[in-house]
Amino acid sequence: MSTSRNRIILDCDPGRDDALAIAMALASSAEIDLAGITAVAGNVPLEVTYRNARFLRELCGFPDLPVHAGAARPLVRELETATRHHGESGLEGVEVEMPARPIESHRAVGYLAETLEASGDQEITLVAIGPLTNIALLAVERPELMAKIREIVVMGGASTAGGNVTPAAEFNVWADPHAAAVVFECGRPLIVHGLDVTHQVLAAPRHAERLAGTGGEVARRLAPLLHPAAGSRGDRFGPDRSPIHDPCTIAWLIRPDLFATESVAVAVESEGTHTLGETVVDWWGVTGRAPNARWVTEADGEAVLALLTDRIAKL
């Protein structure tokens, strides 16, 4: 089952799994009209995420895709990257070339605003797979445009899975909890792919080998991204297994039937000593708060990985 075509803007911090999400989106033009990419600081500093987004559009054969740089740091916190996990290049395992196209713009929020202004109501879906700083800045600077967004598909947060940066917090929300709090309260429909579901999408060496063996040059060059990163934490998921986070958002847009969701009220902790960045999910409705998110609870992990492979093999 596929859905009607989704016109999206992808906000990201490439980042190893972000790169797979970008390629998967570009390879899925029947379901996804990728209008443009906005880069944010997160896994690695902004100049690297911006460089990588521009490199990936050229690698995938879309040199004219708009790519704009956004926030170089979180709203309040200092920037803390995940270079240990993604490498200094942000794409550890991939041979990265300097993009041929010159730097275009550092105005991601302006690009988001202009695209929304020019679009019809409920036409644009924002897919956010890094810290939510750019999306929060849009909500703060241009609140009147938020109503034009169809939905915001987020990779971030964790509840039953526990955190991956602290026991309570997932990286994207922990990196900029104040931005996440703004976005989770912005009033637009949220589809949240947290660690609860991404930990069900576990790549093994055979998945990387299959992607590399599909014959496509992009697939061959990005296949190492399905291997665990050098800095990953041992084998919490079993030998050589690693969760593939960001592509879950793209798979959702193509095949929502591969996932299950629950409508819940979610709050973001933006102060706690031990719980900073926690996404507090009210599973039993004890707060009386109206649901503000569809929390993705289950995925058919093998089917998601097969979809990723089949799509990227087309590039």
Give the residue numbers annotated as catalytic, written as ranges. Answer: 245
DSSP 8-state symbol, 252: H
Binding residue for ligand RIB, selected from 151, 176, 246, 278, defined by CB under 6 A: 246
Q: How far is CA 255 from CA 213, 303, 307, in A?
A: 24, 10, 9
**Residue 17 lies near ligand RIB (rule: CB under 6 A):** yes
Tokens 């960001």 locate to 246
Q: Which does 252 bind (CB under 5 to 8 A by kind): ligand RIB, Ca ion, none?
A: none
Amino acid identity at 97: E
| 285 Rama class: left (phi>0) / alpha (psi -120 to 50) / beta | left
Among all residues, whose Cβ is closest to ligand RIB? 171
Residue with tokens 């200094």: 88
Cβ nearer to ligand RIB, comparing 43 with 115: 43
Contacts of 135 (CB under 8 A, 6+ apart): 11, 112, 126, 128, 152, 179, 182, 183, 186
| 13 makes contact with ligand RIB (CB under 6 A) | yes
Site for Ca ion in 80-139 (CB under 5 A): 129-130
Contact with ligand RIB (CB under 6 A) among 11, 92, 151, 170 = 170
Helix (H, G, I), strand (E, B) or coil at 37: strand
Q: Does the protein bind Ca ion through residue 243 (CB under 5 A)?
A: no
Q: 127 vs 138, which CB is nearer to Ca ion?
A: 127
250 with 302: CB under 8 angstroms? no
Question: 164 is in the binding site of which of Ca ion, ligand RIB, none (Cβ under 5 to 8 A by kind)?
Answer: ligand RIB
- 268 in contact with ligand RIB (CB under 6 A): no
Contacting residues toward ligand RIB, per CB under 6 A? 13, 15, 17-18, 42-43, 82, 129-130, 155, 164, 170-172, 245-246
